[in-house]
Amino acid sequence: MFGEMEKNSFSMAYDDLGDKTTINGRKIELLFEDGQGKPDIAKSAAEKLVHSDKVDMISGGYSSACTFPIAGAAQTMGVPFLDSTGAADKITTQGWEWVFRGTAAPASHYTGALFDFYDNVMHPKTTALMYENTDFGTSSADGYKAICEAKGIEVVFDEAYEAGAVDFKPMLMKAKAANPETCYVISYVMDASLIIKQARELDWNVDLFVGGAAGWTMPEFLENAKDASEYVASTTLWVPNVAWPGVSEYYNGYIAKYGKKPDYHGAQAYGTMQIIVDALNNAKEISYEGIRQSLLEINPTTVMGPIKLENWSDEFGHNYTNQNRPTTYVVQWQKGVLEVIWPEAAKSANYVCPVPKWSERK
């Protein structure tokens, strides 16, 4: 699902950017390789592109498990790599000068707007944390835990699960018994749908059910969870009604061309293509080093907002290189539409919090 969305978005951006893709008379050529979701194949594919196809730079990377080896390979080979989605922190905390991440935020920073919401609106004292035991899930969970500790929010329940389970009730029961005010659940879309449906079956109520990105914001979540998705909040890096230029053209254009709705992963791919074209146009010479320098210099405005690839540190001691500072939003499903509820300046609808109990709905 994601792979196709990203590939389509890359292609679409390529087409939309038209003339800009011809630089000094040479047309940019896009070569796609399929990593099949397996880290070792991803690494091989990256190496093939560089050694066999002799590409000038590589981009892409969806799952953190696959993106990290690609980044490592790029660093070793000395080839610029622009990560579009892979979110694990460690991709840009290694001090690797050849690895860039523009449209993706480090996993531990997905929650910026959420904690802002906590501080200004919710003031929760307790929370439950559940996450899949992958790279992405664990990174995000660690980030969330660290910030909760700093703010004095108690994590009363903390459990990792293996993705693909049929029955989450054992875990959800324990979460319910711990009686948290809110929760943060990091899942991909099918687990997310099952979790929320089973939470409803158990009649587990919290003030606000928050999902950690990815699965919780996708259109497939709405399709599979149906009305159980109502009032579920999440954090995200992009929504179709955010105010950056070209966003609605991308969104509507994608639906017209491919018949499906894209979500932030597609926007990341589209935005990444915009960065690439900008960098290649700006580069003084088309070589690995030339492109690398160019990436450091540019400041394009993309569908994900303005991008600046720079080095910075956060309050937890992470030192990021070539990383764009993240802009995050809190969104909430309301009547089947994903509305932005925070920050105030960007909102498209008012938040509903605390949410009505399951038994009070319908």
Partner 1 sequence: MTKRNWLLPAIVGIVAVALPFIVQGDYYRHILILVLVWITLGTAWNLLGGYCGCVSFGHAAFFGLGAYGAGLLVFHAGISPWWGMIVGPAVAVIIGIPIGLITFRLRGPYFALAMLALGEIFRLVFTNWVSATNGAVGILIIPAFTSKVAYYFIGLAIAAAGIYTVYRLMHSKLGYYFVSIREDQDAAEALGIPTTKYKMYALIPSALLTGLAGAFYMNYMAYIEPGVVFSLPEISIMMILVTMVGGAGTLWGPVLGGALYVILAELFRTTFGAANVLVFGIIVCLIIMYLPDGFIGDWPKLKGYFRRGRKASYAGGE
Partner 2 sequence: MVIFGQTFICGILLGGIYAIIAIGMTLIMGVMKIINLAHGALMMVGMYISYCLFTYCGGIDPYIAMFLSGACLFGIGYLIQKYSIEKVSGVETILPESQVLLTVGIMLVLTEAIRLIFKSDYRSVAPWYSGTSFFVGDMSISIPMLIGFGIAMAFVFVLHLFLTRTDLGRSVRATAQDRDAATYMGINSKRVTNFTFGLGSALAAVGGTLLLPIYYLFPDIGHAVLAKCFIITILGGMGSTMGALFGGLALGVAESFGATYWAMGYKDVVGLIIFIVVLLFLPGGFKSLTKR
Q: Which residues bind partner 2 (CB under 8 A)?
A: 1, 4, 133, 159-162, 164-171, 173-174, 177, 189-190, 193-194, 197-198, 200-203, 220, 224, 226, 228
Alpha-carbon distance of 336 to 230, in angstroms, equals 7
Q: Does 43 bind partner 1 (CB under 8 A)?
A: yes
Place of tokens 């089947």: 336
Q: Which residue from 168, 169, 171 is spatially nearest to 159, judged by alpha carbons?
A: 171
Alpha-carbon distance of 177 to 168, in angstroms, equals 14
Q: Least distance (Å) from partner 1 to the CB of residue 133?
A: 5
Place of tokens 């790599």: 81
Q: Does 146 bind partner 1 (CB under 8 A)?
A: no
Q: Does 4 bind partner 1 (CB under 8 A)?
A: no
Question: Which of partner 2, partner 1, none interacts with 202 (beta carbon under 5 to 8 A by kind)?
Answer: partner 2
Query: How many CB atoms sit inside 10 A of residue 126's CB?
Result: 17
Alpha-carbon distance of 174 to 171, in angstroms, equals 5
CA end-to-end distance (rounded Å), the chain: 32
Question: Which of partner 2, partner 1, none interacts with 361 (beta carbon under 5 to 8 A by kind)?
Answer: none
Alpha-carbon distance of 195 to 170, in angstroms, equals 11
CA distances from 317 to 9, 93, 108, 115 (A): 34, 10, 12, 18
Site for partner 1 in 80-119 (CB under 8 A): 88, 90
Q: Least distance (Å) from partner 2 to the CB of residue 217?
A: 16
Question: Which of partner 2, partner 1, none interacts with 138 (beta carbon under 5 to 8 A by kind)?
Answer: partner 1
Q: Least distance (Å) from partner 1 to the CB of residue 130?
A: 14
| DSSP symbol at 326 | P
Strand residues in 7-57 grouped as ranges (E): 22-23, 26-27
Site string for partner 1, 51-80 (x = CB under 8 A): xx------------x--xx--x---xx---
Q: Least distance (Å) from partner 2 to the CB of residue 202?
A: 5
Site for partner 1 in 150-209 (CB under 8 A): 160, 162
Q: Least distance (Å) from partner 1 to the CB of residue 7?
A: 12
251's enclosing H/E stretch is: helix 247-258
Q: Which residues bind partner 1 (CB under 8 A)?
A: 34, 36, 38-41, 43-44, 47-48, 51-52, 65, 68-69, 72, 76-77, 88, 90, 133-135, 137-139, 160, 162
